[in-house]
Amino acid sequence: MKFNSECVFCKIVQKQLPSSTIYEDDSVLAFLDIKPVCEGHTLVISKEHYEGILDIPGELLGKVHQVAKLVADVATQALCADGINISQHNGRAANQEVFHLHVHVIPRHLGQKIKSPGELEIVDHKQLNVIADKMKTHI
């Protein structure tokens, strides 16, 4: 499995940094974003390092998206979400900030406003773990 020693997501995969994990298998990891735009904002990544959609093998990309669907189902149940935003950014021009393929799964509620990038704050892992535990009960 290839890793990038400078990549924050690779460090999470290798348990060098903490995460509030929702789902994990041999090739995919889903964890809560530490700067969520709203409660339950989850990142789904391939465990192996690929920068974006253009270099990840199609079969692995398919697994990442299968897990994104699972997380969407879980968020809908656990957080009573009315909808789900799913996005994936590729390259600086597309506002990709971490250059490790990841899919954002963002639970939404009617009338809810999304925080702008300047409004995002780091959330304590203890708070995130409470949300993660709530979501994991629906897997």
User: Is 41 one of the catalytic residues?
Assistant: no
Write out pLDDT tens, residues 1-56: 899 999 999 999 999 999 999 999 999 999 999 999 999 999 999 999 999 999 99
Check: CB of residue 4 under 8 Å from CB of residue 48.
no
pLDDT given for residue 26 in this prediction = 97
Record the pTM.
Answer: 0.96
Q: Which of 41, 65, 102, 138 does the annotation list as catalytic?
A: 102
- What are the φ/ψ torsions at residue 109 (nearest 5 degrees)? -120, 145
Q: What is the 3-state secondary structure (H, E, C) of 9-77?
A: HHHHHCCCCCCCEEEECCCEEEEECCCCCCCCCEEEEECCCCCCCCCCCHHHHHHHHHHHHHHHHHHHH
Check: CB of residue 49 under 8 Å from CB of residue 10.
yes
Write out pLDDT tens, residues 72-126: 999 999 999 999 999 999 999 999 999 999 999 999 999 998 887 788 999 999 9
